[in-house]
Structure 1
C-alpha cells in the first residue's frame, strides 16, 4: 500500500506544480518558425492522428510519433509493435529485435534518419528498444528496396526518423513514473526544445528512462513427449536498469544550399538477475532439490552517431555530400554459479559440487559512411539520380571466460570484484576476432511523373571486400579475405486510379549478408546437440528477388486503408551441412559448417486501416486495425518447414475516443502474434505468445499541459515454448529424444502516469 501511494505521489507531483504555475497562460508564440509546428499542436493537440499517405512511388507506410504517443511507448520497439507485419521473438515486455514480416532480424534493415547503424547482434541487427520513443519524429516501413539505399533488406526496412530543427517550435517537459506488478516504481524524465538559433534551427532533446521487467518462469522437463516428468525448474528473472539518451540537430537553409548536422547518444545500463531452483520428479521439497543457479549479467551498451549532410544547387541540379560515423560498444559481465545438490547417489546435503563461470564480453562495432550524389531534371519531367556510397565497418569481439569447480563446504566468494576467485581468463572458441568490411556501392535511378502514374527504376552495384581474423581458429590464428559483388535492380510504379484509389507495384533484388558467427573459422564443440560447428569465412550473402503489389484507398479527409501482397524468392540460403568429419563427442556425432546451398520462399498478405468513424457520425472516434498473414517454405536436413521463428500472423486492433467538451480522451489497443516454429540441428522449438491489451486515459489543460495514465500488458501476457532436444542428427530423424521441455514465462501489468508541459 505504501509503495502504491508513493507511486501516485511521484507521478502526480508534476501535475500539481504545472497546474498551479500555468493556469490561464497564453498560447505559444510561433511567429519565428513558420515552417515548424507549435509544440502544443503535437503534444496537447486533442486530435486523433492516422497513418500518413506517402506520395513516393516506392511502397512506404509512414506513422508520425503522434500516432503512437497517446499510449506513451517507452522505446521505438514499443511503437513498432503497433505497425503492420512487425513481430518480435523477445521475452515478455521486451521489444528488441524487430522481425519485419516475421523473418529473422537479420533480414530487416534498421535505419536511423535513413542511415545504417551498427548493432550488437551476430546477425547484424540493431535492437530497436535502444532508441527512446521521445527521439522519434516518425517510423517508416519501407516494403521494397530502392537503388539509393543499401540492399540489405530482404524483408524490408524500418526507418526511424528522429526529430530535427523543423520538427517543432518551442519545447516541452515530460515527467512521470511507472509501477510494475512487483510494486516497484521507476522514473521517466525528458525534455525537447526546438527553435531558431543564429542562421539555422536547433533541436535539443534528452531523456532518462527507468526500465524494469520482473518475470516468473517455469519449466517442465520430460524424457520425451507424454513421457516421464524428470524435473521442474522455478525461475525468477528480473531486468532492471536505466536508459539515457541525448540528441541534437542543426539545420541551415541558404539561398542555394542546405546544411544539416545531427547526432544522438544512447546508453543502456542494465542488470539481469536470474535465480533458478530445480527439483526432481516435479516435487518441490528439500529431498528432491537438484540445483540452485544464480545467473547475473551486468550490461553497459553505448550507441552514438554523428552525421553531416550538405546539398547545393550546382551542375544543373542538386549535389549532395554526406558523411557519417556510428559506433556501438557493448560490455557484458556475466557470472553464473550453480550449486548441485542431488545429481548422483549422494543425496542432499552430502552432495557438494559447485560450478562457477565468469565471462567478459567486449564488443566494439564502428561504421563510417559517405556519399556523393547528384540529382537533376531531365526533359519530359523525368529525374536522374546517381551517386556512389561508401561503408566501412570494423568489428572487434573479445570474449574471455573462466570456470571454477570447488565443493560447497569450501565455496568461493563467487563475485567478480573479489581477486583470486576467477582467472586466468581465456578466450572462448570464436570469441577473439576482428572483422573488416569495405563497401563501395554506385547507383543510378530514374523517376518520373505522368498524369496518373509515378514511377522509379534503378540499378545498384554493391561491392564488398572483407577480412576476418580469428585468434581461436582450430589451426591457430587465421586471416581470411573474401570479396563479392551484386547487381541489384529495383523498380516501383504508383497508378492513381482516382483521387481516393491507387495501386502500387514494386520489384527489387536484395541481399542478406552472413551472420558473424557463421563466418568465424573457430571450432565450437557440442554446439549443435552433441555435434560440433566450424564457421565458413568464404560464405556469400543470400540473395532474394521480391515483388509487392498493393492497393490503397483514402477514407474521408484523413483515413486510409490498404492491402498488400508480397513474395520473396531467396537463393544461396545459408544452411548447416556436414563436413564428413567425426565430432568431438565421438561415434554418431559430426562436425558441421555453413554453406550457400539452400533456397526458400516467403509470401503473405498485409492489411491496414486507420480512419475516423465520420461516416457514421462519430468524427471524434478513430479506429486502427492491421493484420498480416505470413507464410514461407524452406527445405533443411529434416524436410520442409517455414523460415525459422516466423510468426504465422500479426494482429493489431484499437480505437481512440476524443472527448472535446471535456478536453479528455481514452483508447485501447489489442495485439496478438501467431505461433512461431524454429528447427536447427539438435533442437526444435515452438513459441506461443499470449495477447497484449493496452489502454490510456488523457486529460488536457489549457493547451499547455496534458496528463496520461496508461496500462500495458493488462492480460498478463505469457510466452510459452516447447523444446524438442536431440543429441545426434540420427536421433533427431528417428525422434529419439534427449529431452522434451515445456517452458512458460509471465509478467504482470505495467502502469505509467506521465505528464507533459509545453513552453
Structure 2
C-alpha cells in the first residue's frame, strides 16, 4: 500500500497515537518503555521496573515482545576478531558470504544485497562505508532483529542488524590491546584502546583501533567452453600473483553532560579511515581454442575511504515518566579509487587503461522520539527519522593517458545525486495478561532522489511505503519456560542509488555475460509481506531450545535484464514478477550443568537454518532468490577452569546450485570454518588471548556457467586460504 502525501502520514500517526492506548500494555519486568527506547543511548539514571513474576533479571531475548538476539561485549571479544563479519558468522541464523576470503556479505535467512538491513547506532551507515572496516573493539553490542519494528527503518525484508558503538562511561577505565595475526596469506599487527572517566557532571569515553595487514597469494583459475554437440572448444588456465596491504583506523570519542532536572546532553563522533592497495600479475595459457585477448596482464587498485560522523543527543525527562529524545547529526565521506590495467612491452595486443573514481558525500540526519508509560502499563512511543544527503562523483577513463570515455569530457563523467528521506512512526506494547503481550507499530517512509550529470538527462525518483507491524508473545500457561511468538510485518527493499542512476557504465570486453550497466530511474521498491512464528523452551538458567519459521512474499522483485541495443550488450534492473522465500531455524544453547549437576563449566550451543525460495521470470529448478544459502549451521563449545577460558566454533554451509538467469548458473561452494580460542588471565588486569582461524585450511572457490550465444562456458576461480593465528595481549590500568 502506498501513501501519497506526508499530510496523510501525520493524520495516520495521530490516529495511531490515540488508538493504541486502547489496545496495548507494557510487558512486566523490563524498564518502562523498553520496546520504544533508543537502543543507542544509555538508560536513564532512574527507571520504573515491574516484576514479571520471577526473580530472574531482564533478558531481552526472553522478555521482549519484539524478538531479537543481543550479542554483548564478551561474545564480541571472545575470538579476538578483527572484523564485524567474523563476529556475526557465529550468530544463529546469520551467514557471511565471502568470494575471496576478504570481508564478506552479511546475510540473514541467506539473503543479502539490501534484504538484510545493517544499522550503525540505529541509523543506516553512510554510502561507501564498509562494515569490514569497523573494528569489533569499538562496539558495545550487536542487536539482531528477525522481525521489523516501527522504530527502525523497515528496509529489512530479511531482518535488521543494529551495531551499537561503545558508549558506557566507566570511572577510571584504561584499557589497551596489542596483537598480531599471521597465516592464511595475511599478516599484520593490531592495536586498540578504551579510555573513560567522570569529571563532575561531565563524563567522557574514547575508543580507538588501528590495523595494518599485508597479503600475498597465488590465485589459479580456469575457463572451458563446449559447443552445442558437447565438444570442448576452449581450455585456458590463468595464474594470478596478488599482493597488497590494508590499513584501518577507527576513533569514537564521546562526551556526556548531566543537566538539570535529570536531562542529559551527549556528543558522539565516529571517524573511520581505510586504505587499500592491491597489485596482480596474470598469465594465461590456452591449450585449446583461441588465445586469450591479453595472455599477460598487470593490474593495480588503489582505494582511499574516509568517513566522519558526529551527532548531538538531548534527552529531556518530563512529568509522569515521559521522555523526549532528540538527536541531530552530520555525516561526511570521501572515496577515491584508481584501477589500472596494462600489458608489458612487446605484447601482441597493447593495453594501458586507467579508471579514476572520486566521490564525496555530505549529509545531515535528525531523529526524535517521545515515549511515555500510560494507564494500564502502555508503553507508547512516537517519533520521526529524517535525513538529507548529496553525493558528487567524477569518473575518468583513459587509454595510454588519453581520455577514451566519455568522449570530449575533459573534466570526466560527472554526476550529482541528492537524496532526502523522512519517516514517522508510532508503536505501543501492552500486557493483556501476565502471560500475553502484544506489540503494535506503524511506520511511513518516503524517499526522494534527484540525479543530474553530463552524460545523461536529469532524473527524479520517489517512493512512499506504509509499514504496519504486529508482534505478540504468549507464555504458555502451566509451564515455567515455554512461550510462542508470532509476527506479521510489511517491509521493503528500496533500490540503491546506482540502480536508479540512468548513466552507462561500460565493460572492457562487452558481451552478454559481461555487459554494460545502466540504472533505471523508474525502479520501484520491492514490497514484502512477512510472517514469523517461533516456539521457545527455557528449561534451566542459560538453557534454550527454539524452533522458528518464516515466510516472505516479495512483490515487484528486481532482476537484471540483459538486452542488445544494436551496438553493445546492456544490463538494466527491472521490477519483474514475484519472489517467495521460506525459512526454518532450530537453535539450542545450554550449560552442561543443566544436564549433569556436577559437570564442568562447559557451555554448548548449536543452530541449523534451512531456506527455500523461488523467483518468477527465472526458470527452475534452483531459481533461488539472491544466491540464497540453502542450509547452514553453527556449533560451539566454551570451557572455563580457573584463569583459563577456551572454546571452539564451527560455521558450516551447504553446497548450492543457483539458476541466476536464463543464461547463467552459479555454484555456491560449501564451507566449514573451524575456529578455536584460549584466554588466560595472568592477573585481573592482564590477559592473553590466542585464536586460530580456518583450522581446516579451506580455500574460497567460485564457479559459474554461462550460456554464451552458441556455446557453454564454465569458469572456476580459487582463492587459497590456509589456517591463521591471532594473539592479543590485553592490559587494564
Shorter-chain TM-score: what band?
0.7 to 0.9
The one-character-per-residue Cα deviations of 1:480-518 (angstroms, maximum 9, x if unpaired) are 122221111011111223442222211111111113232
Query: 1:486 & 1:584 partners in 2: Cα distance?
Result: 38
> In the alignment, what sits opposite 2:487?
506
Q: Which of the numbers 438, 452, 469 marks the counterpart of 2:452?
A: 469
Q: TM-score, normalised by structure 2?
A: 0.84
The one-character-per-residue Cα deviations of 1:285-329 (angstroms, maximum 9, x if unpaired) are xx9997222111111111232122212123752112111223332
Query: 1:457 & 1:52 partners in 2: Cα distance?
Result: 18
Q: Which of the numbers 612, 616, 637 marks the counterpart of 2:591?
A: 612
> In the alignment, what sits opposite 1:544?
528
Query: 1:545 & 1:67 partners in 2: Cα distance?
Result: 33
Query: 1:594 & 1:53 partners in 2: Cα distance?
Result: 39
Runs of at least 4 residues off by over 6 Å:
33-36, 287-290
Check the 8 A contact 1:393/1:437 in 2, yes or no: yes
Q: TM-score, normalised by structure 1?
A: 0.81
Query: 1:377 & 1:499 partners in 2: Cα distance?
Result: 28
- Give the gaps of 5 or more residues in structure 1: 1-32, 37-50, 121-125, 341-349, 405-421
Q: Which of the numbers 555, 559, 570 marks the counterpart of 2:543?
A: 559
Query: 1:536 & 1:83 partners in 2: Cα distance?
Result: 36
3-state DSSP of counterpart to 1:66: helix
> In the alignment, what sits opposite 1:262?
268
Check the 8 A contact 2:582/2:613 in 1, yes or no: yes
Structure 1 residue 713 corresponds to structure 2 residue 697? no
Query: 2:97 & 2:65 partners in 1: Cα distance?
Result: 32
Following superposition, the deviation at residue 119 of structure 1 comes to 2.9
Check the 8 A contact 1:117/1:367 in 2, yes or no: no
> In the alignment, what sits opposite 2:578?
599
Check the 8 A contact 2:171/2:198 in 1, yes or no: no
Cα 1:749–1:431, aligned 2, differ >3 Å: closer, same or farther? Answer: farther
Structure 1 residue 398 corresponds to structure 2 residue 366? no
Structure 1 residue 230 corresponds to structure 2 residue 212? no
Q: Which of the numbers 135, 139, 145 marks the counterpart of 2:148?
A: 145
Following superposition, the deviation at residue 625 of structure 1 comes to 1.6
> In the alignment, what sits opposite 2:181?
178
3-state DSSP of counterpart to 1:636: coil
Following superposition, the deviation at residue 619 of structure 1 comes to 4.2
3-state DSSP of counterpart to 2:601: strand
Query: 2:660 & 2:326 partners in 1: Cα distance?
Result: 45
Q: Which of the numbers 643, 648, 660 marks the counterpart of 1:668?
A: 648
Check the 8 A contact 2:76/2:136 in 1, yes or no: no
> In the alignment, what sits opposite 2:223?
221
Query: 1:684 & 1:472 partners in 2: Cα distance?
Result: 33
Cα 1:314–1:401, aligned 2, differ >3 Å: closer, same or farther? Answer: same
Cα 1:268–1:527, aligned 2, differ >3 Å: closer, same or farther? Answer: farther
Aligned length: 661
> In the alignment, what sits opposite 1:444?
426
> In the alignment, what sits opposite 2:112?
104
> In the alignment, what sits opposite 2:286?
280
* Residues 478-493 of structure 1 aligned to structure 2 (within 5 Å): 478-493=457-472
Query: 1:453 & 1:573 partners in 2: Cα distance?
Result: 36
Check the 8 A contact 2:674/2:694 in 1, yes or no: yes
Check the 8 A contact 1:624/1:654 in 2, yes or no: yes
- Give the gaps of 5 or more residues in structure 2: 1-41, 46-58
Check the 8 A contact 1:361/1:399 in 2, yes or no: yes
Query: 2:362 & 2:110 partners in 1: Cα distance?
Result: 28
3-state DSSP of counterpart to 1:514: coil
The one-character-per-residue Cα deviations of 1:329-363 (angstroms, maximum 9, x if unpaired) are 221111111349xxxxxxxxx75322011111122
> In the alignment, what sits opposite 2:249?
244
3-state DSSP of counterpart to 2:150: coil
Query: 1:167 & 1:296 partners in 2: Cα distance?
Result: 46
Following superposition, the deviation at residue 686 of structure 1 comes to 1.4
* Residues 641-652 of structure 1 aligned to structure 2 (within 5 Å): 641-652=623-634
Cα 1:197–1:426, aligned 2, differ >3 Å: closer, same or farther? Answer: farther
Cα 1:462–1:714, aligned 2, differ >3 Å: closer, same or farther? Answer: same
Q: Which of the numbers 276, 284, 293 marks the counterpart of 2:297?
A: 293
> In the alignment, what sits opposite 1:407?
none
3-state DSSP of counterpart to 2:85: helix
Check the 8 A contact 1:532/1:584 in 2, yes or no: no
Following superposition, the deviation at residue 244 of structure 1 comes to 0.8
Query: 1:560 & 1:306 partners in 2: Cα distance?
Result: 39
Following superposition, the deviation at residue 618 of structure 1 comes to 2.6
> In the alignment, what sits opposite 1:621?
602
Worse-matched range after superposition: 323-332 or 436-445: 323-332
Check the 8 A contact 2:233/2:288 in 1, yes or no: no
Query: 2:132 & 2:330 partners in 1: Cα distance?
Result: 21
Check the 8 A contact 1:724/1:737 in 2, yes or no: no
Cα 1:351–1:296, aligned 2, differ >3 Å: closer, same or farther? Answer: closer
Structure 1 residue 374 corresponds to structure 2 residue 349? no
Query: 1:137 & 1:234 partners in 2: Cα distance?
Result: 43
Q: Which of the numbers 70, 73, 80 marks the counterpart of 2:88?
A: 80
> In the alignment, what sits opposite 1:331?
336
Cα 1:714–1:378, aligned 2, differ >3 Å: closer, same or farther? Answer: same
Following superposition, the deviation at residue 535 of structure 1 comes to 2.5
The one-character-per-residue Cα deviations of 1:216-256 (angstroms, maximum 9, x if unpaired) are 32112111377355210112333422111111222334433
Check the 8 A contact 1:186/1:211 in 2, yes or no: yes
Worse-matched range after superposition: 60-69 or 492-501: 492-501
User: What's the Cα RMSD here?
Assistant: 3.0
Following superposition, the deviation at residue 62 of structure 1 comes to 0.7
Following superposition, the deviation at residue 719 of structure 1 comes to 1.9
> In the alignment, what sits opposite 1:29?
none
Structure 1 residue 568 corresponds to structure 2 residue 548? no
Cα 1:35–1:515, aligned 2, differ >3 Å: closer, same or farther? Answer: closer
Q: Which of the numbers 676, 679, 698 marks the counterpart of 2:660?
A: 679
